[in-house]
Amino acid sequence: MVAPKTTELAPSGPKNVSLQRLGRWLLAFAFCGISGLAGLHAAGAAEPADNLVKNPGFGQDSAKPGTPANYVLTGDVEYRYLGDPNREIAPWGVALRSGPGVGSSAIRQGSIAQTVSGLDAKPGRWFRFSFRGLPQTLFAVDGDRLVMQVDFFADGGRTSFDSKAKPLYHLVQQDRKDLSVNGDGRTGGAAVWRTYALEFMLPSPLVDQVRLKVAFDHGNTAMSAQSEFFVSDFSLVRIAGPLPAEAGNPRPADARPANLLPLGGRWFYQAGAGETAAPKVFDHTNADRLIYHDDKWSAPFAGSMSAWLRAGDIGLDGRVAPKDQFVADNVTVSFDATSLIIHTKSLPNHPTGRFPELGGGNPNYIEEQLATYYIPLNPVENPRHVATATDNSNRALPMGPIGIAANGVVFFNPFDAGSEDASNLMDYCCGHPNQDGLYHYHKYPICIYSPWADEGTGHSPLLGWAFDGFPIYGPYVKAGILAKDATGADGLNDFNIHFDAERGWHYQVTPGKFPYIIGGYWGTEDPRNSPGGRGGRRGPPPGRGPPPGRGFGPPPPGPF
């Protein structure tokens, strides 16, 4: 682990924060949690309006207090706020409990399920069931008996068809093995908030109802302590099927969509019938048609353009938000001849820490703010590029934003300052706000949505772009192999970049290994992104006081 040496200062310098305090919370390395929701958002996915699940945020049933509306709970499960309300912005959901001394059953088992009725197979029979899960450190089952499952029914539930189940516990174990080094602070140990997903085809056109379930069994043997697996954010969305649709075929992710209009670089617009031009602006309503080509044809922004301004965050009006507000257009994008232009309000779209932190931690708020970043469409290697020295003595990368994820949250370089333990200074998603209220990542943020769930079964999906235009991918270079451990052509150089035929030059994140995200610009940064060159970013409102009426009890159940 490289000791951070350099103070992270925005061009405008710290505001309302002593340097000593700044140094303390800026130390970011050792313990940032590896939570996340590596997401699954291919074309057609997952803006809230597309979700066929009722009450995806696990709001409480007003008729049956203490239970989530529209769900059925069985066994050793508990409905509650899934985090420490003093320290985390977490969702409501259900905890599956393993370990001794829970309930009356000799064998720990339980489930959370929702039945979705009225499905119409005519527009297509392919769907994706996904949810967010977070295993606590000691959660364990025998075998692979943590599963997500879909049960099929016809005739309004009177006729039962087959089921399709996907074991998940081996993925939990893989994350613990590969990603704990990314950081394991907070109360969750090596816990990982991430998205688990199952794609399936209705087994018959007669099927009009599915039961979506997360279940576990044999959760207690050999366990010395109780532990939990958190479940929230159920989602069921239609996805494109294989062409030609054929039962049992895996959906080919590399199938080129029809009617593509080139936008520059690796980008295309998937035109509808009769359309001859691309929209000028892409937002949450058409992000599923904004296609990126690498080894797949994906829609990296689909499902990632909306976010929540959380109660306690600061909105564009400079005030502390009294309650959660949905921000549909957190990210929009457009193109000019040379650049992908990303407009972002800079709000994270995933669970975060609660900022400002209690007890002398990070004193800053997460602030909604307007920023525009330019990503070169046709990046080329800069022959004079310089890799970042491990002590940052050469200042190869600027402080402040150096790239941006597809959810509109920026990446910073590896360097922070300070000498005190920083275990509670970054949140579960490896992010925190700086003195300008700008939430940002210093290392692999598993939380961000990406087009496919990263199960380590092949090259990781796209996460975002560095300001030189080269894309940034997740940690795996091939099945079971982390890029940071790879050698030969698969290995990364000091910039954390390498080349392959499908992706060209691309960075890959290196959990637990310097420089974590990128180690310098391999290409040339668009100067409009450099400190002082960014248009439209607003600073924090001057002289704001403590937030009025901000409580630290659990927030009310609601969509997350």
Give the footprint of Zn ion on this chain (CB under 5 A): 477, 508
CB 497, min distance to Zn ion, A: 9
User: CB-wise, 466 or 477, nearer to Zn ion?
Assistant: 477
User: CB-wise, 168 or 477, nearer to Zn ion?
Assistant: 477
Alpha carbons within 13 A on the beta-carbon side of 177: 11
Instruction: Classify 187 as helix, strand or coil.
Output: coil
Q: Where are the alpha helices (DSSP H) in 281-380?
A: none
User: CB-wise, 192 or 477, nearer to Zn ion?
Assistant: 477
CB 472, min distance to Zn ion, A: 10
CB 153 within 8 A of CB 161: yes
CB 137, min distance to Zn ion, A: 30
CB 451 within 8 A of CB 412: no
Lookup: tokens for 534: 């960014």
User: CB-wise, 34 or 477, nearer to Zn ion?
Assistant: 477
Bridge-based pairing of strands 126-135 and 194-201 is antiparallel
CB 375, min distance to Zn ion, A: 18
CB 461, min distance to Zn ion, A: 11
Question: Residue 457 carries which DSSP code?
Answer: S
User: CB-wise, 148 or 446, nearer to Zn ion?
Assistant: 446
CB 481, min distance to Zn ion, A: 10
Amino acid at 292: Y
User: Buried b vs exposed e over 244-261: b needs ≥16 C-beta within 10 Å?
Assistant: eeeeeeebeeeeebeebe
CB 96, min distance to Zn ion, A: 35
- Classify burial at 451, counting beta carbons within 10 Å of its beta carbon; exposed 0-12, middle 13-18, buried 19 or more: buried
User: CB-wise, 75 or 515, nearer to Zn ion?
Assistant: 515
Which own/partner pairs from 59-68 qualify as long-range (CB within 8 Å, at least 24 positions apart)? 59/92, 59/557, 59/558, 59/559, 60/92, 60/556, 60/557, 68/92, 68/93, 68/94, 68/557
User: CB-wise, 110 or 511, nearer to Zn ion?
Assistant: 511
User: CB-wise, 138 or 481, nearer to Zn ion?
Assistant: 481
User: CB-wise, 264 or 458, nearer to Zn ion?
Assistant: 458
How far, in whole angstroms, is CA 533 from its chain's centroid?
A: 28
Helices vs strands, H then E, count in the chain: 2, 31
* Interatomic CA distance for residues 60 and 62, integer angstroms: 6
Phi and psi at residue 490, to the nearest 5°: -80, -15
* Interatomic CA distance for residues 373 and 376, integer angstroms: 10
Instruction: Classify 441 as helix, strand or coil.
Output: strand
* Interatomic CA distance for residues 107 and 123, integer angstroms: 43
CB 474, min distance to Zn ion, A: 9
CB 486, min distance to Zn ion, A: 8
How far, in whole angstroms, is CA 296 from its chain's centroid?
A: 20
